[in-house]
C-alpha cells in the first residue's frame, strides 16, 4: 500500500504531463492559425489589386466613350497617386506615371501577415514573388 505522500506525487506527475501535452497542442495550433491568416491576407491583397485594375479599365473605357461619365463609386475605388494604404496585413502603394499606373502590395510583417508580394500595372496582369525576394515587379511570374 502506498503512503499518503506518494499518491500526491503521482497525481502531480499526471497533471504536469497533461499540461505539457496541452501546451504542445496549443503551440502547434497557434502556428497553423498564423499560416491561415497569412493565406487569407494574401488572397485579400490579390482581390484588392484586381478590383482596382477593373475600376481603372472601366474608367479608361468610359473615357473613350462619348457621353460616358464614370460613377462616383467607381472613381472612389481608385487611390490617389503616391498613396500608401495599410489593409489586411499588407501595405498597398499606388503610383501614376503619365497615364500608366502601378500598384504593389507588400506584407507588413513578412511571414506573419503574408509571405508573397504582389505587383500589378496598367496591363492588368497580377505578378507575385514568394518570400519577397526580390519584391514583385513587372518581370515577376504571374499569379
- Mean pLDDT by groups of 10 residues along the chain of 143 residues: 58 80 73 81 90 86 84 78 86 85 89 88 89 84 87
pTM of the shown model: 0.71
Q: Is residue 137 part of a domain?
A: no
**DSSP reduced 3-state for 101:** strand
Q: Is residue 136 part of a domain?
A: no
Host domain of residue 34: 4-130
Which pLDDT does position 6 carry in this prediction?
Answer: 58
Q: Is residue 135 part of a domain?
A: no
Domain tally, the chain: 1
Sign of the dihedral through C-alpha 67, 68, 73, 75: negative
15: number of Cβ within 10 Å: 10
d(CA 50, CA 92): 12
Amino acid at each position: 500500500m502506498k503512503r499518503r505522500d506518494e499518491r500526491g506525487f503521482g497525481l502531480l506527475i499526471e497533471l504536469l504531463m497533461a499540461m505539457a501535452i496541452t501546451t504542445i497542442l496549443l503551440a502547434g495550433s497557434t502556428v497553423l492559425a498564423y499560416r491561415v491568416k497569412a493565406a487569407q491576407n494574401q488572397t485579400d491583397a490579390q482581390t484588392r489589386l484586381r478590383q482596382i485594375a477593373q475600376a481603372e479599365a472601366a474608367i479608361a473605357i468610359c473615357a473613350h466613350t462619348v457621353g460616358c461619365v464614370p460613377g462616383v463609386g467607381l472613381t472612389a475605388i481608385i487611390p490617389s497617386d503616391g498613396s500608401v494604404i495599410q489593409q489586411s496585413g499588407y501595405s498597398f502603394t499606388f503610383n501614376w506615371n503619365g497615364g500608366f499606373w502601378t500598384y504593389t502590395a507588400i506584407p507588413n510583417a513578412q511571414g506573419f501577415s503574408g509571405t508573397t508580394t504582389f505587383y500589378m500595372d496598367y496591363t492588368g496582369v497580377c505578378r507575385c514573388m514568394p518570400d519577397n525576394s526580390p519584391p514583385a515587379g513587372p518581370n515577376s511570374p504571374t499569379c
